[in-house]
Amino acid sequence: MHSISLALNGKPVHGQVEGRTLLVEFIRESRGLTGTHVGCDTSQCGACVVSVNGKAVKSCTVFAVACDGAEITTIEGLAKGVDLHPMQVAFKEHHGLQCGFCTPGMIMASIDIVKRHGKSVDEETIRRELSGNICRCTGYHNIVKAVQAGAANM
Partner 1 sequence: MENFNYHRPATTTAAVALLKKSKDGKFLAGGHTLIPTMKQGLAAPRDVIDLTAIKGFSGIKVSKTMVTIKAGTTHQDVTMSKDVNKAIPALAQMVGKIGGVHVRHKGTIGGSLANNDPAADYPSACLGLGATIETNKRKIEADKFFTGMFETALKNDEIIIAVHFPIPKKASHQKFPNPASRYAMVGVFVSQDGKGKTRVGVTGAAPCVFRAVEVEAALNEEFSAKAASAVKISAKGLLSDMHASAAYRAHLLSVLAGRAVAAA
Ligand X SMILES: Cc1cc2nc3c(=O)[nH]c(=O)nc-3n(C[C@H](O)[C@H](O)[C@H](O)COP(=O)(O)OP(=O)(O)OC[C@H]3O[C@@H](n4cnc5c(N)ncnc54)[C@H](O)[C@@H]3O)c2cc1C
Q: For binding to ligand FES (CB under 6 A), which residues are involved? A: 38-40, 43-48, 58, 60, 97-102, 135-138
What is the closest distance, in whole angstroms, from the C-beta atom of residue 138 to ligand FES in the complex?
5
Site membership for partner 1, residue 140 (CB under 8 A): no
3-state secondary structure at position 79: coil
Site membership for partner 1, residue 37 (CB under 8 A): no
Instruction: Tell me which residue of 48, 49, 38 sits closest to 109, measured CA to CA.
Output: 49
Residue 97 interaction partner, one of partner 1, ligand X, ligand FES, none, beta carbon < 5-8 Å per kind? ligand FES
Dihedrals phi, psi of 80, to nearest 5 degrees:
-105, 100
Instruction: Tell me which residue of 128, 119, 106, 105 sits closest to 148, measured CA to CA.
Output: 119
Which residue type sits at 49? V
Label the pairing between strands 49-52 and 11-17. unpaired
Interface stretch with partner 1, choices 14-22, 79-87, 89-97, 137-145 (CB under 8 A): 14-22
What is the closest distance, in whole angstroms, from the C-beta atom of residue 146 to ligand FES in the complex?
11
Q: What is the distance between the alpha carbons of residues 85 and 87, in angstroms, rounded to a whole number?
A: 5
**Residue from 24, 47, 65, 78 binding partner 1 (CB under 8 A):** 65
Instruction: Please measure the distance between the N-terminal and C-terminal CA atoms of the chain and give it in whole angstroms.
Output: 40
Q: Scanning residues 40 to 59, which ones bind ligand X (CB under 6 A)?
A: 43-44
What is the closest distance, in whole angstroms, from the C-beta atom of residue 132 to ligand X in the complex?
7
